[in-house]
Amino acid sequence: MNTDTIETNAAEPVAGDGPALSRRRFLTGAASLGTLVVSGCVSTQESAAPVAKAPVEPAPVADANALAMYGPLPNERFPIPAVDLKKVPSRYYRRQVDYATEEPVGTLVVDTDNFYLYLVQPGGKAMRYGVGLGRAGFTWAGRGRIGWKQEWPKWTPPDEMISRQPNLAQWSADRGGMPPGLTNPLGARALYVFQGKVDTLYRVHGTPEYWTIGKAVSSGCVRLMNQDIIDLYDRVPSQSPILVLGDPTQPHTHEVAGGSAPAPQAG
């Protein structure tokens, strides 16, 4: 039971043609970092033929909406820098999409196969966020609720993580955990998933490592860019339901192809 997401990407070829070299010219360049530099020596009776260079393809430029969504947040308790959007594929930018689901409005749906989190909205819509997943993000599936929300949370590594990485013992529960801040693995906000009164230890949280969005990394649960977790946090009240896909008994939920729009701001 996976979220069906259709993405199309097109890349235009880059071509560069160089002129034929004179019989009297010699190759004297060297290859460095994959780029061949060519220079020629000719007699005084001939002038050197110009060396053609392949056109340089400019880096992709994010649209104004994306730049605004992922710009700096100087008024946060710990000012958050802008996201370098060249390091995050655009398919993982926050956006509103058409979404067919039996889940009630306000439900969070985590699609671990496609690295998306959906917040179900009225009118067959959902707000979609790109996520990164750690080992713990794949180990739990099912239904729960957001039992607790926290701005700029502390981080306490579990005992099994400390046993694998003893250097994390300095942040153990006995020592009060890691204080909040820009380097804290939980980022700017955290949503804690419970089943009944039991903490599942499953977290939806921010991350300063935005380049891990869309990837499976070594630790953590479900991570969003700090700008996205702040947006989600403001939209989701405590006790909101959450469904983590992976349980085949749960209803099918999917995104409708071709129905996306820039994300409206929370508020």
| Helix (H), strand (E) at residue 106 | none
More confident: 236 or 19: 236
Tokens 């909101």 correspond to what residue?
240
Rounded to 5 degrees, φ, ψ at 81 are -75, 165
Cα–chain center distance at 163: 28
Q: What is the pLDDT of residues 40-55, one digit of tens each?
A: 323 334 444 444 555 5
Q: What is the pLDDT of residues 91-135, one digit of tens each?
A: 999 999 999 999 999 999 999 999 999 999 999 999 999 999 987
Q: What is the pTM of this model?
A: 0.71
Under 8 Å between Cβ of 254 and 3 = yes
